[in-house]
């Protein structure tokens, strides 16, 4: 028989017979989601440092990553099928960031160029995806 005491919307519950406090599956899910947010924020540090070395910008961007990018992830996951070339554009951006990190010891790529490159790659990948969707619709 399933113990239904932990199915309420609580992180913990007290077992009436054992008089002990137990964590619920909701608490475990909460820990997993929040740890994924922290890992994602730490993972984004090299990308931030590829754009700027200003500590204020690096710290605040990681705070924003923790606070808001989970919601943005679900939005992007929902529209990823519509934007076919977005995956390729993001891959190109990751290659650019890696290249920029490698050459940063010898040459500093200007911030304006980096931001322009990012914006152009995202816009081009979205436009190409929209054109692909329109051509597929016209074939129907």
CA dihedral angle for residue 94, residue 95, residue 96, residue 101, rounded to 10 degrees: 90
Q: Tell me what pLDDT residue 95 has.
A: 92
Instruction: Please state, in angstroms and rounded to a whole number, the distance separating the CA atoms of residues 115 and 118.
Output: 5
Helix (H) or strand (E) holding 13: strand 12-14
What is the separation of C-alpha 5 from the centre of its chain, rounded to a whole number of angstroms?
Answer: 34
Instruction: Quote the pTM value.
Output: 0.53
Which residues have CB under 8 Å from 76's CB, separation 6+?
86
Q: Tell me what pLDDT residue 31 has.
A: 86
Q: Tell me what pLDDT residue 56 has.
A: 84
Q: Tell me what pLDDT residue 121 has.
A: 94
What are the residue ranges in the chain where pLDDT is below 70? 1-8, 41, 66, 68-73, 76, 140
């Amino acid at each position: 028989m399933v113990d239904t005491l932990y199915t309420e919307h609580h992180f913990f519950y007290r077992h009436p017979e054992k008089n002990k406090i137990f964590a619920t599956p909701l608490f475990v899910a909460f820990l997993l989601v929040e740890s994924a947010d922290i890992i994602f924020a730490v993972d984004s540090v090299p990308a931030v440092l590829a754009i700027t070395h200003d500590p204020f910008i690096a710290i605040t961007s990681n705070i924003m990553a923790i606070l808001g990018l989970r919601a943005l992830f679900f939005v992007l996951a929902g529209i990823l099928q519509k934007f076919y070339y977005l995956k390729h554009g993001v891959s190109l951006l990751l290659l650019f960031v890696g290249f920029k990190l490698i050459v940063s010891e010898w040459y500093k790529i200007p911030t304006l160029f980096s931001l322009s490159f990012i914006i152009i790659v995202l816009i081009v990948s979205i436009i190409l995806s929209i054109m692909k969707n329109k051509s597929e619709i016209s074939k129907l």
